[in-house]
Amino acid sequence: MTPHTARPGPSEDPLTPVLRGVAAVVLDTDGVITDSARVHAAAWKSAFDAFLLAHPPEDPRQRRPFDEQDDYLRYVDGKSRLDGAAAFFVSRGLDVPAGTVREVAADKEKLFTDRLREHGIDAYPGTVRLLRALHREQVPLAAASASRHAGELLTRAGVLDLFDTLVDGAEAARLELPGKPHPALFLEAARRLGVPADRAAVVEDALAGVEAGRRGGFALVVGVDRTAGPGTREALLKHGAHLVVRDLAELIETGAAK
């Protein structure tokens, strides 16, 4: 990506003190920048529930439908499609052949793509405000995602030009980067920004993602808890977040981040 000019934004948006000491920020895409996590979750539910209906496990406890909040956050959010599908099947105690895992992941991919192209995706207003505030402070920004759709999502949401670099699922595959919770994806994004991890921040909503940020030695790991479900904030903190916010606008409102 080439350098860009920051879009005009509200001049009254100062960064909170917690962000003033970082030299760069790396943000995940789904659920952090764009409102696409819910579309991913719905596509996974359709794919997994169809599999469980067609191949009902003997144990009734393994037959329960995919939960779009709990199962999504625990097993597939932030991971590559194959890793996420495999993790979900393992969580149900199912020994599913690799070929079948690929088929279910492919079904999810088609469902997600169809829904994306039919309905589109929006960026979270609070995230856009934070990105503009960071631009005013000349803080380099990277988007990093295990999704191969990250570039398309950011383009459709109209925010791709707010980033200095993007490391998406296609780049991760080309570079043979291990998936989250390994920190390789975030470390590559920081490297492209020219900033060491111990001077950069990671912003993530996935448990695997915040764990990756902490493992990578990032100076600040911000967990995003948009669902505010039972125990979700505590889970993000347990997996490595230094702080948790409901919306990234909290990071530009003095005293809001806790």
Give CA–CA dist 196/44, Å, rounded. 35
Nearby residues of 88 by Cβ (< 8 Å), 6 or more positions away: 44, 48, 66, 71, 75, 76
Q: Which one is catalytic: 28, 71, 77, 225?
A: 28
**In 10 A of CB 170, how many CB atoms?**
13
Q: Which one is catalytic: 13, 30, 70, 107?
A: 30
Token pair recorded at residue 89: 């099947």
> Which residue in this structure is represented by tokens 């695997």?
208
Nearby residues of 215 by Cβ (< 8 Å), 6 or more positions away: 181, 182, 183, 240
- Which residues are 27's β-sheet partners? 143, 203
Question: For 227, phi and psi rounded to 5 degrees?
Answer: -80, -30
Q: Angle between the 98-119 and 37-54 helix axes, to the nearest 10 degrees? A: 140
Give CA–CA dist 203/2, Å, rounded. 22
67 part of the active site: no
30 part of the active site: yes
Give CA–CA dist 234/240, Å, rounded. 10
Nearby residues of 131 by Cβ (< 8 Å), 6 or more positions away: 141, 159, 162
**Residues forming the active site:** 28, 30
